[in-house]
Structure 1
Amino acid sequence: MGNTLVQSQMIDVQKFLEATIVEFESFLNEATLSGMIREKEGNVEYYKNILSNLRKLLVFCEEGLEACGIIVKNEPFAKAAAEKTLYRIYHQCIEEFFAPKSDAWFEDSRSAYTGKNSIKFRQDTPDSIKTVFGNLEGPFQKIREELEYYETDYRTKMIQSN
């Protein structure tokens, strides 16, 4: 993949991460466990798990944004570092959004055919959480489609170099 294309993707991912961070921070700065319980009676441990996962995602996105900023500013453009960073962002941010390690929620791949949100929660959750995911799912899906190439390409390069 050419430098120009990779650099363009880095800039797109950087903009995506900036917007994503704003969305996560807006929610997390206002969300409290007691507020979520007031909004919808539910499993407190499950709510804690969701909030914990969102905090992790926020940190991963902030780290990815910082890496993008450094790489985009560097001259000459470091294509290999950019590809490695996009691969890491794909795994730490995108995949974790759709399928967190904690299994607090999951992606229902059949939803793509129905036009509904594909993120499904394991238990009933407050509408505020559903709104955050509803706002972010489209942009995450778009970026995932753009970065899926790095999932196979970068892994292939690593295997070939060993």
Structure 2
Amino acid sequence: MGNSIVKSQMEDVKNFLGNSVAAFEDFLNNTTIKDLEAEKQGNVNYYKSILSHVRKLLVYCEEGLDTCVIILKSEPFQKGAAEKTLYRIYHQCIEEFFSPKNDAWFENSRSAYTGKNSIHFHEEVPDSLKTMFRQLEGDFQRIREELEYYETDYRTKMIQSK
């Protein structure tokens, strides 16, 4: 891929991460376990697990955003570093959004065919949580589709270097 294409993708991902960070921060800064319980009685440990992973996603997105800003400011543009960063963002941010390691929620892959949201929770959760995920999911899906190239390209390069 040419430098201009990779740089353009970095700009797009930087903007996406900035919006995601703002949404995660807004939710986390205004929501406590007590707020979630008041909104909908449920499994407190499950709510804690969800909030814990949302915090991790926030950190991953902040780190990715910081790295994007640094790479985009560097002259000359470091295509290799940008591609590696986009690969890392794909795994740490995008894949963790759809399929968190702590299994707090999951992606219903069939939802693409039904036009419904793909994030599903194992237990009932308050509407505020569902709303935040619904608002973010479209952009996460769009960026996932754009960055899937780096997943296959990086693996191909790793296999060829052996």
TM-score, structure 2 normalization: 0.99
Equivalent residues in 2 for 1:16-95 (5 A)?
A: 16-95=16-95
State how far apart, in whole Å, the 2-side matches of 1:72 and 1:155 are: 24
Partner of 1:34: helix, strand, or coil? helix
Task: Look up the equivalent residue of 2:93 and give its one-letter code.
Answer: C
Which residue does the alignment assign to 1:99?
A: 99
Q: What are the Cα deviations for residues 118-162 of structure 1, in whole angstroms up to 9, with x where unaligned?
A: 000010000000000000000000000000000010121122223
Size of the aligned set, in residue pairs, is: 162
1:158 partnered with 2:158: yes
Which residue does the alignment assign to 1:129?
A: 129
Structure 1 segments (4+ residues) deviating >4 Å: none
Task: Look up the equivalent residue of 1:97 and give its one-letter code.
Answer: F
State how far apart, in whole Å, the 1-side matches of 2:132 and 2:119 are: 11
Task: Look up the equivalent residue of 1:105 and give its one-letter code.
Answer: W
State how far apart, in whole Å, the 2-side matches of 1:62 and 1:7 are: 19
Unaligned segments of structure 1, at least 5 residues? none
State how far apart, in whole Å, the 1-side matches of 2:92 and 2:70 are: 18
Output the aligned Cα RMSD. 0.6
Unaligned segments of structure 2, at least 5 residues? none
State how far apart, in whole Å, the 2-side matches of 1:155 and 1:59 are: 25
Which residue does the alignment assign to 1:146?
A: 146
TM-score, structure 1 normalization: 0.99
